Homo-oligomer: A and B are copies of this chain.
Amino acid sequence: MVSSTQQLSAHKIRTTEIRIAVLNLFLENKQALSKQDIEQFLPNQDRITLYRTLKTFEDKGLIHRVINSSNILKYALCSDSCSHDYHNDQHIHFECTNCRQTTCIENVPLPKLTLPKEYLVQNLELTVSGLCKDCK
């Protein structure tokens, strides 16, 4: 059990009120959060500071972007292996078409893929949509 304060220090991020609050949100929710989501949870925070908080978290390897079909940018917690100079977030994302909750699926391997040889494949981004446990 690692506290958000310890986690910030480990990533060389100064512990401030908003950073602890935002990181706690991610730790408690276990799903991807949009800037809007966060603003609803933390209504009295300055939007520019929140913008910079998310940027810092992304730069330092605490969170990664989650692209979804509605083109709303969300963020989710990174695994421990991400750091300020290396992100390692190759996994499937699942988006519920009903409740719109978006989660990282860590325990299903990405499929192998063979493209025509004119393409050099470097990375896969796979978002699955459907119904989550609560909505189906």
Contact = CB atoms under 8 A, between A and B. Distances in A.
A70 to B, nearest CB: 9
Contact of A119 (B65, B69, B132): B132
| Chain A binding surface SS class | loop
B125 A124 contact: no
Copies of this chain per assembly? 2
18 contacts: A69-B123, A69-B125, A71-B71, A71-B73, A92-B115, A105-B116, A108-B115, A111-B112, A113-B126, A119-B130, A119-B131, A119-B136, A121-B128, A121-B129, A123-B128, A124-B128, A125-B127, A126-B127
Given A119-B130, A125-B126, A125-B127, 18 more contacts: A65-B71, A67-B67, A97-B123, A105-B115, A107-B116, A108-B114, A108-B116, A111-B112, A115-B128, A119-B131, A119-B132, A120-B130, A121-B130, A122-B131, A123-B130, A124-B126, A124-B128, A125-B129
